[in-house]
Amino acid sequence: MNNDQIAIKIVDLLGSKGNISNYTHCATRLRFQIKNKKLINETELKAMPEIISIVDKAGQYQLVIGPAVEELFHALEKTCPINNDTKMGTEDKKKPLDSVLSFISASISPALPVMVASGLINAILAILTQFAGMQKTDSTYVVLSAVADAVFFYLPVLIAFAGARKLKTNEYIAAFLALAMLHPSINNIADLSLFGIHIMQVKYSSNIIPVLFMVPILAFIDKIITKWLPETIKFILRPFLLTIIMVPLTLFLLGPIGAVVGTALAQFCILLSKYGAVSIGIMALLQPVLILTGMHTLLIPLIVNEMATYGCSYIFTKALAANFAIAGAAIAVGIKSKKKENKQVGLTTGITALLSVTEPAIYGCLIRYKRPFVTACISSGICGVFMGILKIRSYAAASVSIITMPIFIGDNLKNFILACIMGAITFVVSFILTYLFGYKEE
C-alpha cells in the first residue's frame, strides 16, 4: 500500500475519524489522542507490516513507524483533518500526570527535527574549525553559527506554538507572547518595571520552562474570554485581552517561576555528572526502556535547559551509550542467527540503530527475543558509568549516531576522542554479551 492507503486503514482501525481528537508525530512515531480506546482494533493494527509496534503511554496512543513517519503523517493530514466538534463514544479519563506528560511531549516533539538540524550544523562547523582551518571570526562561520543558534534562542516560540495547538488555543497568540518575552528590551534586562512594579530579570531565550507554564494558563483564560465575549467583537478584543492579561502574569509570576525551575533543572544535570557517574549509568541503563515506552522525549526539557545554561549536556551521554548498545545487541543477533529471516532483521535494525533510529531494533529484534534487550540495557548502563567518570558531554543536540559524533567536539578534540572510544567499547561489550548470553534462536 502507498501512504494514502496506509493512512486510511490506520484511521479506520483507530475507530474512524471521529474517534481521533488530535495527533502529531516525532522522529519515529505517530502520536494520537484517542477519545474511546475500546473502538480501536489493535489486533489488526499490530498485523500491519508498516507498524513496528504500539505503545499506549502518557495519555497517547503511539504507533511506532520508523523513519517514514513524516510522509505517513502528511498522508494522515489529508485523510483525517481534525474536527474539534466531532465526538464519538465516551472519552477516556486521563490521570493528571498523564495529561501533563502528554502536554510536554506534544509541545516538544514537533521541535525535535529543527533541533537535529541545528546540531548537525554545529557539528559540521566544529569539524571545519578543527580540521579545515576555518576561524570563528570568518563570515561563513558567523552566519551558519547564527542559523544554528537561532533554533535554541527562539525555541520557546516553537514550544509555545506546539503547546497551544495541543491545548486547542490560538497558536499565534502563544507564539506572539513568547516572542515578546524574547524582545531585547525585555529578555534578561535588569531594573525593569511595569505599572511601577519591579520585574525580575529573567533570561527567556532558550528557556522553555516559562512557556510550558504560560501556555496552559493562556488556554484556560482563552476559554473564559471566548465564552463570554460577543461574537461581533471577539475578533478584536480576544487577542487584546489575552495580551493585556498574560504579559503581566508572565513577567511577574510565570516567567520568574519558570526561570527558577529551569536553572534548578540545569544545576541538577551538572550535579549528576559531577557527583554521580553512577547516575549517568542508571540513566543510560534505563534509556532503552524509556525508548520502549515512548517516554525518552520527556528528558528533552532537562537537556535543553542544561545546554542553554552551560553550552553542553552531560545527560545526553545516555543516548551515546544506549544507541551503540542497542546496535551492538541487534547485530549480534543477526550474526549469530542461522535462520535467514532472523539474520536479516538483526543486521538491518542494528545498522539502522547505528544511524540513530533505534525503535526497529528494539521492537523488531531485542524485545522479540527478550534477553538481547536485557544485555543491551546492562551494557549501556556499565559503559554509561565510565562515560560519567570521563565527563563526556555533548555540545550540540542531534540524534547520536556514527555520522553525528562531531556533536561531541568542543574547544578541543579530547572529549570527541573519548566519546568515539566509549561508543565503540559500548558497541563491542553489548555485542559480546548478547552473542554469549543473550540469544537462543529456538
Same domain, 242 and 303: no
- What's the rounded Cα separation, in Å, for the pair 325 and 358? 10
**Per-residue model confidence (pLDDT) at position 273:** 62
Residue ranges of the chain with per-residue pLDDT less than 50: 84-92
The domain boundary, picked from 272, 288, 304, lies at 272
What contacts 433, CB < 8 A, 6 or more positions away? 329, 375, 378, 379
- What's the rounded Cα separation, in Å, for the pair 288 and 438? 16
Within a domain: 97: no
- What's the rounded Cα separation, in Å, for the pair 394 and 205? 20
439: DSSP letter = -
What contacts 341, CB < 8 A, 6 or more positions away? none
The domain boundary, picked from 272, 293, 316, lies at 272
Nearest by Cα to 364 from 333, 338, 339, 336: 333
First to last CA, the chain: 33
Same domain, 285 and 391: yes
Total domain count, the chain: 3
Tens-digit pLDDT profile for residues 343-396: 888 898 899 889 877 888 888 788 878 889 999 999 999 999 999 889 898 887
Within a domain: 362: yes
Nearest by Cα to 419 from 349, 331, 350, 316: 316
Provide the 3-class DSSP secondary structure of residue 66: coil
**Per-residue model confidence (pLDDT) at position 87:** 39
Same domain, 280 and 268: no
Same domain, 61 and 17: yes
Contact 103/167 with Cβ under 8 angstroms? yes
- Whether pTM > 0.85 for this model: the answer is no
Phi-psi region of 320 (alpha: psi -120 to 50; beta: other; left: phi over 0): alpha
Same domain, 258 and 286: no
Tell me the residue range of the domain where 169 lies. 154-272
**Per-residue model confidence (pLDDT) at position 9:** 92
Provide the 3-class DSSP secondary structure of residue 201: coil
C-alpha cell at 269: 544535570
Same domain, 364 and 410: yes
Burial of 130 (0-12, 13-18, 19+ CB in 10 A): middle
CA distances to 173, 335, 353, 359 from 345, in Å: 47, 10, 12, 13
C-alpha cell at 122: 554545529
Provide the 3-class DSSP secondary structure of residue 64: strand
Same domain, 347 and 249: no
Within a domain: 145: no
Within a domain: 112: no
Alpha helices (H) in 14-67, listed in sequence order: 42-47
**Per-residue model confidence (pLDDT) at position 82:** 67
- What's the rounded Cα separation, in Å, for the pair 281 and 426? 12
Tens-digit pLDDT profile for residues 101-155: 778 777 877 887 787 788 778 878 888 887 888 888 899 999 998 998 888 889 8
Same domain, 299 and 226: no
Containing 193, the helix (H) or strand (E) segment is strand 192-194
Look at the block and give the residue holding cell 489522542: 33
Within a domain: 102: no
Q: Which amino acid would we find at residue 343?
A: K
Same domain, 228 and 280: no
Burial 423-438 (b: 16+ CB within 10 A, else e): bebbbebbbebbbeeb
Within a domain: 406: yes
Burial 204-237 (b: 16+ CB within 10 A, else e): bbbbbbbbbbbbbebbebbeebeeeeeeeeeeee
**What's 73's domain CATH number?**
3.30.1360.60
**Per-residue model confidence (pLDDT) at position 365:** 83
Same domain, 260 and 346: no
Nearest by Cα to 378 from 435, 319, 316, 329: 329
Nearest by Cα to 188 from 213, 208, 209, 205: 205
Within a domain: 107: no
Nearest by Cα to 151 from 127, 126, 122, 176: 122
Nearest by Cα to 416 from 122, 113, 114: 122
Nearest by Cα to 434 from 375, 347, 366: 375
**Per-residue model confidence (pLDDT) at position 144:** 92
Within a domain: 442: no
Same domain, 313 and 397: yes
The domain boundary, picked from 272, 305, 328, lies at 272
Same domain, 311 and 385: yes
